[in-house]
């Protein structure tokens, strides 16, 4: 292919895609279309998956778009589709981009309105798919733990408040055990080594 036929940006299924990406990677960036389904679509259309997407012809782009919108037309089995036995129509379809988000949010709202167990879990922001939640999934704040703020001394820097106010030098308490006294301080000044 010549450089004149190369396109820097293509629009496939409502998404702008850079022409420098490989076709298999570029198609998997479309929401609702994964790597495996992209591979199957390209194999069934006899398109090289390692080619750059900017070199596709108009016919190949239109074939890819038609296959993405209705994968069963090119012989892809139903278990590849992401919306099988739709609750409204009962048909198998494959949803993309904003349609996928809209349908998922409608499903969640329907479960909330019928008060199913999944609906309850969605309402309270808990895990829905049967995961263990004893140690994981802790998104909120601490429960049952009281936080106490530490207050600094009134005079600051460890000096007693009375000494600060009167102007007298602060007295420091003597250490009670020899273990807490440094070795240089424990020796008497008279002894010389």
Whether 125 is in a domain gets the answer yes
27 contact partners, CB below 8 Å, separation of at least 6: 12, 33, 38, 41, 42, 53, 64, 68
In a domain, residue 89? The reply is no
What's the token pair of residue 104? 């998922």
Burial of 85 (0-12, 13-18, 19+ CB in 10 A): exposed
Q: How far from each other are the two terminal CA atoms of the chain, in whole angstroms?
A: 92
Q: Which of 80, 111, 140 is the last residue of a domain?
A: 80
State whether 8 and 73 are in the same domain. yes
As a whole-number percent, the residues of the chain with pLDDT over 90 amount to 9
Beta bridge partners of 11: 16
Same domain, 76 and 100: no
Within-domain flag for 21? yes
How confident is the model over 118-170, as pLDDT tens digits?
A: 999 999 888 999 999 888 888 766 677 777 888 887 765 555 555 555 565 65
Domain identity same for 74 and 31: yes
What's the number of domains the chain is made of?
2
Does 167 map to a domain?
Answer: no
Residue 3's pLDDT is 56
**Residue labelled with tokens 């296959």:** 67
Residue bearing the bigger pLDDT, 119 or 98: 119
Token digits of residue 129: 């798919």
* Residue-range definition of the domain harbouring residue 120: 96-131
Find which of 51-55, 73-77, 164-168, 181-185 is predicted with most confidence, using mean pLDDT.
51-55
pLDDT digits (tens, 9 = 90+) for 32-51: 888 988 899 999 999 988 88
91 is a domain residue:
no
């Amino acid at each position: 292919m010549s450089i004149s036929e190369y396109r820097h940006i293509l629009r496939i299924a409502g998404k702008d895609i850079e022409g420098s990406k490989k076709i298999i990677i570029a198609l998997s960036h479309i929401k609702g279309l994964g790597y495996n389904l992209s591979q199957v679509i390209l194999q069934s259309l006899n398109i090289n998956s390692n080619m750059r997407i900017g070199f596709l012809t108009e016919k190949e782009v239109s074939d890819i778009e038609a296959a993405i919108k209705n994968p069963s037309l090119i012989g892809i089995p139903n278990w590849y589709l992401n919306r099988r036995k739709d609750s409204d129509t009962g048909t198998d379809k494959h949803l993309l981009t904003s349609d996928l988000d809209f349908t998922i949010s409608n499903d969640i709202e329907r479960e909330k309105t019928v008060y199913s167990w999944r609906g309850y879990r969605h309402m309270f922001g808990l895990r829905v798919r049967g995961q263990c939640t004893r140690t994981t999934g802790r998104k909120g704040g601490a429960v049952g733990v009281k936080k106490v703020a530490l207050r600094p001394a009134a005079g600051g820097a460890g000096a007693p408040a009375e000494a600060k106010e009167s102007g007298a030098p602060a007295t420091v308490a003597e250490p009670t055990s020899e273990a807490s006294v440094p070795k240089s301080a424990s020796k008497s000044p008279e002894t010389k080594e």
